[in-house]
Amino acid sequence: MKNVLVIDDDPDMLDAIRVILEGANFSVTTCNDGVEGTQKAREKSFDLVITDILMPEKEGLETIMELKEFLPELPILAISSGGDNYTRRDTYLLMAKKLGATSSLEKPFTSQQLLKRVEFCLGKGFIQEQ
C-alpha cells in the first residue's frame, strides 16, 4: 500500500481527497498547512505528497522547495484553484512544476482526474505531461 501525504487548508478538500485515495487502496495522512506537512514528511516515509498552493503559515511553493531540499526524489502533485483568478492559478501551478513538483492539477477536479494524476506521479500512468 502506497503512503500519500495530503496538505491543504480546506478541510472539505482534505476529506474528499482522503476518501478518493483510501477508496483506491492508498494509506493517507492529512495536514492543514506546509509547516505541519514538511514536519510529517521528515518523520515518516511517503510515496507521494499532494499539496495545495495557497495556504496560511507556509504556502505550497515554499513547501515544495523545502521538501525537494531533503527529499529530492519524492513525487509531488501540486493542486490549486488560485482563488478567483484563473491566470494566477495557472501561474502558480507552472511555478510549482519549475520548483520540482512532478505534476499539477487544477481545482476543482474529478476523482478520476485525481487518480490518473496520482498514478502518473507514481510512475504508473499514461498521462502525457506538457
Q: Give the mean model confidence (pLDDT) for residues 38-65.
A: 95
- In angstroms, rounded to a whole number, what is the distance separating the alpha carbons of residues 85 and 7? 21
- In angstroms, rounded to a whole number, what is the distance separating the alpha carbons of residues 109 and 130? 18
Q: Give the mean model confidence (pLDDT) for residues 31-38.
A: 96
DSSP string, 39-103: HHHHHS--SEEEEESS-SSS-HHHHHHHHHHH-TT--EEEEE--TT-HHHHHHHHHHHHHTT-SE
Please report the pLDDT score of residue 61 as a whole number: 95
Provide, rounded to the nearest whole percent, the portion of the chain with pLDDT above 90.
81
- Give the pTM: 0.91
- The pLDDT tens digits of the residues spanning 77-128 come to 999 986 555 556 688 899 999 999 999 999 999 999 999 999 999 997 544 4
